[in-house]
Amino acid sequence: MVIDLTLPLEDDMPLFPGLPTFDSEANVSEETGALTHRLHMSSHQGTHVDAPRHYDEDGKTLDEVGLETLRGEATIVDLREHRGDPISAEVLETADADVSAGDFLVLITGDVDERFYDEDFFTEASALTADAAEWLVDKEVSVVANDFLSEGIHDPERPVHNTVLGAGIPFVEYIANTDAIADRDTVDIVCAPLHLKGFEAAPARVFVSE
């Protein structure tokens, strides 16, 4: 059994304010009848992986992170009771999750499934706070995946991204269909971003296998 945690890429889908959204154009060859598509999208479109280079000029690009980092057993942290609230260090500390150094963390509030296509998603969804970012770094986790905002939209200093990515920890952002795994302690997860050399991020297919 496979549980897909990936948002489908589609025209005019929501994207972080200020970034160009996804659009596509179909083309049918007059000579062969073959259907092809032209795509225009951000490297941060839909479910995607942020490599450290997104904010750290000395950080690894996506092709340097390596697929071995982006797959394996992941620890689930169920934060659904905090949906729509800031996710602080205190919230993470009291979430009753067994977090150890090297863990791949999956943080779940349900915000993406509840409101990703709502106009207020980027202002009303949960977001990690600066002290939560420090908590994640102090725990020495290897990857952080989430189904809410890694960071609120109003702080131009971007402390969460700078702290987490600056510590060499990739983000897997906007995972979906998380109710299917939220009640589990661990899952076997695979995050497979497009293999774009030198890029700071790319859309990814993310899934859990059983």
Q: Can you give the residue range of the structural domain that contains 190?
A: 2-9+42-209
Number of H helices, E strands in the chain: 6, 12
CATH number for the domain spanning 197: value is: 3.50.30.50
Domain count, the chain: 1
Asked whether residue 29 is domain-assigned, the answer is no
Please tell me the least confidently modeled range out of 79-88, 93-102, 137-146, 180-189.
Answer: 93-102
Mean pLDDT for 7-28 is 92
Among candidate residues 165, 166, 208, the one with its CA nearest the CA of residue 75:
208
Residue range 95-101: mean pLDDT, rounded: 89
Of 14-18, 92-96, 140-144, 178-182, the one with minimum mean pLDDT is 14-18
Is the model's pLDDT at 61 over the cut of 90? yes
Q: Which amino acid is at 37?
A: H
pLDDT exceeds 90 at position 18: no
* Residue 32 located in a structural domain: no
pLDDT for residue 17:
87
* pLDDT > 90? residue 32: yes
